[in-house]
Homo-oligomer: A and B are copies of this chain.
Amino acid sequence: MNKASLYQQLKQDIRQGLWPAGAVLNQQKLSDYYQVSRIPVRDALQQLKAEALLVMAGKASLMVPPLTAAEAEELYQIRLQLEPMALRHAFPRLTFSLLGQAEDLLQQLEQDQHLSAADRGALNWQFHLILYQPSNCPHLLRLLHSLHQQVERYLGFQEISLNYANTSHQEHWQLLELLRAQQLDAAVALLKQHIQQAGELLTSHLRQQPA
C-alpha cells in the first residue's frame, strides 16, 4: 500500500461509508488500519482535505464532512456554470471516435444491472469527461473532476442512484445525438437541463430525508 494507492483506498472507503459522514479520522487509527506509518497517512489526508473530501473538525482534526442539501445544491450550481463551458470549448475538437467511446460507456452503464452506486458514478463521470476532454482546459477539467468526486459521495444511496440513472439515460443519448448532428446550442441547453434536473432530484431527496 504505497502513497498513491493509500489515497485512492481512503477515498473509496469514504465513498463507500467505511468512514461515514461525521467520522473523525485520526492518523493513528488509519495507520493501524491500513498497516502503514503515519507519514503516508498524513499525505493522503492532506490531499483529501485539499479536495474538500475531508474538512477540519476543531483545530487540528479531520472529519468526513456531513452530507447536506445545501452543499449538494451548491456543487450542482457550480457544475451548471462550468460544464456547459467545458462542452462549448470541447465541441470543435469532438470526433466521432470520441462520441463512439462515450456511446460504449453509456451502453455499459445501461446494461450492467448489478453495478454498485460507486461504479455507476465513476462511469457517469467518465462519460462526461470524454465529452469535455477535447476542451484543452486542464484547470477546468481538474476542477470538474474534483466537483464530481464530491458529488459522488451523495450518490452512495442506491435509491438516489437508481432514480438518477433512469431519468438521465435518455438525456445522455439525446446529448450524443445532438453533438453528432453538430447542434451545439441545443446540446448545451440539454446539458444544462440535465444537470439542473439531477441537482434538484438530489437536493429534494436530501431535504425529505436528511442524510
- List chain B residues, Cβ under 8 A from A140: 74, 77-78
Interface string of A68-85 (1 = CB under 8 A from B): 001100110110011001
- List chain B residues, Cβ under 8 A from A26: none
Known: A81-B85, A85-B81. A139 touches B46 (CB 8 A): no
A43 within 8 A of B: yes
Which of the residues B52, B81, B139 comes within 8 Å of A74, measured between beta carbons? Answer: B139
User: Could you say how many copies of this chain the assembly holds?
Assistant: 2
Complex Cα gap A50–B47 (Å): 7
**Residue contact A139 to B42, C-beta cutoff 8 Å:** no
A211 within 8 A of B: no
**Residue contact B85 to A137, C-beta cutoff 8 Å:** no
By the criterion of a CB under 8 Å from any partner CB, how many residues of chain A are at the interface? Answer: 25
**Residue contact A50 to B50, C-beta cutoff 8 Å:** yes
Known: A46-B47, A50-B51. A139 touches B71 (CB 8 A): yes
Known: A43-B42, A46-B46, A47-B46. A52 touches B139 (CB 8 A): yes
- List chain B residues, Cβ under 8 A from A138: 74
26 CB-based A-B contacts, threshold 8 Å? A39-B39, A42-B43, A43-B46, A46-B46, A46-B47, A47-B50, A50-B51, A52-B139, A70-B136, A71-B139, A74-B137, A74-B139, A74-B140, A75-B139, A77-B85, A77-B137, A77-B140, A78-B82, A78-B85, A78-B139, A78-B143, A81-B81, A81-B82, A82-B82, A139-B150, A143-B143
